[in-house]
């Protein structure tokens, strides 16, 4: 999860929502990514899945684990299922936009359901997001 947090911090440096994702197989890092702008599908999870599939030349990521700093949204939850990620670890829960434990709970409708572990380094992951949005609100209120 520490590597996903590092990716989130890279996003934050670029004034992007600080969410990071890493895909590993055993002890090997397969891909890592963070949110980017100008594309509503460019979530950290989607980018990490695309990179991993390209690197491995396969549409499925059997025997991989994904670490992401925020509970995936419904779009990302469905992509994680389609990619056949074995285990999903996420940091902060996402009561408003989540798709795993909150919101649409997409995985209950999927043919492949990864093992899911939430709340990993939740405090650190939440702190990044809360700080980002507080600064954004302060900036918006000043202009």
Provide the annotated active-site residues: 45
> Which residues are part of a known binding site?
43, 73, 76
DSSP secondary structure letters along 46-99: HHHHHHHHHHHTSS--TT-EEEEEEPPPHHHHHHHHHHT-SEEEEEE--TTT-S
> Which residues are part of a known binding site for Zn(2+)?
43, 73, 76
Classify residue 7 by burial, with Cβ atoms within 10 Å: 0-12, 13-18, 19+: buried
């Amino acid at each position: 999860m520490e590597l996903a947090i590092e990716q989130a911090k890279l996003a934050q440096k670029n004034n992007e929502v600080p969410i990071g994702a890493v895909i590993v197989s055993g002890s090997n890092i397969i891909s890592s990514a963070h949110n980017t702008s100008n594309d509503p599908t460019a979530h950290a999870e989607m980018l990490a899945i695309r990179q991993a599939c390209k690197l491995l030349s396969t549409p499925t990521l059997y025997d991989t684990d994904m670490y992401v700093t925020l509970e995936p949204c419904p779009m990302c939850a469905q992509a994680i299922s389609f990619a056949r990620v074995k285990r999903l670890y996420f940091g902060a829960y996402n009561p408003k936009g989540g798709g795993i434990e909150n919101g649409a709970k997409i995985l209950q409708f999927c043919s492949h359901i990864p093992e899911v572990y939430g709340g990993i380094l939740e405090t650190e992951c939440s702190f990044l997001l809360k700080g980002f949005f507080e600064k954004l609100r302060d900036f918006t209120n000043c202009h």
